[in-house]
Structure 1
């Protein structure tokens, strides 16, 4: 039984220009951390990710949600978590502050993720194993499919998962080989051209076969020059992605994305405002065959549904610390599977949580094991940090979701 809760505001200033992009020039990587203390002595840890200011507001909202879990048994809670998620996300007063977006939804992600972590620890297994061992019915019981009935019913979700079970064993080899990663840290926005060159060479030496450059400069020629630098160093066989972090309006995006064609980007990420579904549809048509990736700032399953319905997103980057946590992440992954669109999560949480979720996506849902973003700047702060070897994530073996922070575990 959950006997107590704590929510902590944890912030880490980054060194130099790390983490910078066209919009966020001086980020402070921060977590709103929810901890659920079980009477068995276990602690479930979950978090949402922010860039500093406002992290305290997320913590306050998370405390409100987490308080409703005191006295509950985690196994009983997770057996029908979809219903609880629906109740919390539609709280009569907090819903007005969203609905299903912003501070309150980030807070719900923190609490939801703590529930999944405690559940896995209670069973003594890593989160990826817990999820893969659940039956389709048990998985769907953790999901809230409201407002998706036109695309995905409970019966359809169960059938989709059931259809994959007969071949899931064929995909379990990923547990031994490791899940491929890609390096985002080669080209933070404020890095010099020379720093980008050095980082590209280092990434290749470390075994990465894909990497990402931040773009969105006031002068587009700077972006084009730097993109060609990365392509020159990486060669034609390495996937190179470009990330504008929402910097361009639609006319700018059409013009600049077409200019990038000469260096053959694997995708262009967040080219314009994340709420503007129709602009992305127009853009996708205008710059084809260049592909668009999005999801870092898409807050809920409804907007993801709309993106999938328009067919403009070639890669969905749903983030379990941006949407309402693991539950909504799985829901979006099911929608993507229906539409045949790869899920490549945004890794604002340094991959600690998502390394588990992509294994579930691949093994139990049949998603392609494309790759997972790797950002190393906070790894030293985790009790069980991700391990990357030769460009791949080594499968975590410790119980839980790998989200325990050293500073809090020592309190």
Structure 2
């Protein structure tokens, strides 16, 4: 039984240009942490991710949601968590602040993720193991399908999961091999050209064959130059992504994106405002076959549904610390599987949680094991930091979701 709730406002200044992009020049990587203390002696830890200011507001929202779980048994909660998630996300007064986005939804993400962590710890298994061992009906019972019924019902989700059971054993081999990673930290926005070039060589020496450059400069020439710099340093066989972090208007994106095509980007990420579904549709059609990636700032399953319906993106970057946690992440992954769109999560949380979720996506849903973003700046703060060797995430074996922080 959950007998005690605590939250923590954890902030980690980075410095030296790390984490910078075209919009967020001086980020403070921060977690709004929820701890669910169970009378079994286990503590479920979850968090949402912010860049500093407002992290305390997310903690307040998380406390509000978590308090409603006090006195509940985690097994009983998770047996019908889809209903619990629906009730919490539609609490009438907090819903007004969204609905299903912003501070309130981030607070719910923190609490939801703590529930999944506690569930896995009480069962004594890593979160990926818990998820892949669940029956399709048990997985679906943890999800909220409201506003998705026009695309996917509970019955259709169960059918989709059941249809992929046949290949689970073969796909489970990735547990031993590890999940491929890609390096985002080669090209933060504030880094000099020299540092970017140096980081590319370092990443390749560490085994990474895919990497990402931050773009979105006021001077388009800087972006074009740096993208070709990375391509030259990494070679033609490397996979290179470009990320504008919402910097451009649609007219600007239509002007600059075609200029990148000569360096063969794998995708162009968050080119314009994340709520502007139709702008992404126009841009996607203009630069095809080069694809767009988005999802870092898409707050809920409904907007992801709209992006899929309009065929606006070739890669979905749903983030379990941006949407309403693991539950909503899985809902979006199911929708993406229906549409045949790869899920490559944004990992503002260092990949700690998402290393579990991509294994589940691949093994239980049959999603392609493409790669998972890696950002190294906060590893030292985790009890069980991600383990990457040769550019590959090694499978975590400790019980839970790998989200325990040393200080909290």
C-alpha distance in 2 between matches for 1:75 and 1:209: 41
State the match for 1:39 in structure 2. Answer: 39
Q: CA deviation at 1:289?
A: 1.7
Distance 1:31 1:254 in 2: 35
Deviations 1:289-339 (A, max 9, x none): 221000000000000000000001000000000000000000000000000
- Residue 407 of structure 1: SS of its match in structure 2? coil
1:26 corresponding residue in structure 2: 26
**Whole-Å Cα distance in 1 between the matches of residues 138 and 235 of structure 2?**
45
Q: Using the alignment, how far apart are the partners of 1:154 and 1:40 within structure 2? A: 32
| Secondary structure at the counterpart of residue 92 of structure 2 | coil
Q: Could you say what secondary structure the match of 1:142 adopts?
A: coil
In the other structure, the counterpart of 1:296 is: 296
What secondary structure does 1:167 align onto?
Answer: helix
Give the Cα separation in 1 of the matches to 2:341 and 2:254: 22
Aligned counterparts of 1:211 and 1:10: Cα–Cα separation in 2: 28
Match of 1:104 in 2: 104
Q: Deviations over 1:222-250 (max 9, x none)?
A: 00000001000111111000000000000
| Counterpart for residue 84 of structure 1 | 84
TM-score normalised over the length of structure 2: 1.00
Deviations 1:367-394 (A, max 9, x none): 0000000000000000000000000000
Q: For structure 1, which segment, 303-312 or 281-290, has the greater mean C-alpha deviation from structure 2 after superposition? A: 281-290
Which ranges in structure 1 are unaligned for 5 or more consecutive residues? Answer: none
4+ long deviations beyond 2 Å: none
Match of 1:166, SS state, is helix
Q: CA deviation at 1:166?
A: 1.2
Task: Give distance in 2, aligned partners of 1:368 and 1:167.
Answer: 12
Aligned to 1:135: 135
Cα distance in 1 between the residues matched to 2:276 and 2:257:
17
2:358 matched residue in structure 1: 358
Measured in 2, the distance between the counterparts of 1:179 and 1:247 equals: 31
Shift of 1:167: 1.1
- SS where residue 138 of structure 1 aligns? helix
- Equivalenced residues, count: 408
Q: What is the CA distance between 1:288 and its match in structure 2?
A: 1.4
Match runs of 1:1-400 below 5 Å: 1-400=1-400
Q: 1:70 offset after TM fit, Å?
A: 0.3
Whole-Å separation in 1 of the counterparts to 2:125 and 2:233: 41
CA distance in structure 2 between the partners assigned to 1:33 and 1:333 by the alignment: 24
The Cα offsets for residues 37-78 of structure 1, whole Å up to 9 and x where unpaired, read as 000110000000000000000000000000000000000000
1:15 Cα deviation after fit: 2.5
| Separation of aligned partners in 2, 1:375 and 1:207 | 15
Q: What CA distance in whole angstroms lies between the structure 2 residues aligned with 1:396 and 1:238?
A: 27
SS at match of 1:106: helix
Secondary structure of the structure 2 residue equivalent to 1:11 = strand
3-state secondary structure, aligned to 2:242: strand
Structure 2 Cα separation of the partners of residues 41 and 226 of structure 1: 51
- Provide the rounded CA distance (Å) in 1 between the counterparts of 2:272 and 2:59: 29
Residue aligned with 2:211, SS: strand
Cα distance in 1 for partners of 2:153, 2:214 equals: 38
In the alignment, the residues of structure 2 paired with residue 288 and residue 106 of structure 1 have an alpha-carbon distance, to the nearest angstrom, of 33
Q: Deviations over 1:255-294 (max 9, x none)?
A: 1100000100000000000000000000011111221000
- In the alignment, the residues of structure 1 paired with residue 260 and residue 316 of structure 2 have an alpha-carbon distance, to the nearest angstrom, of 21
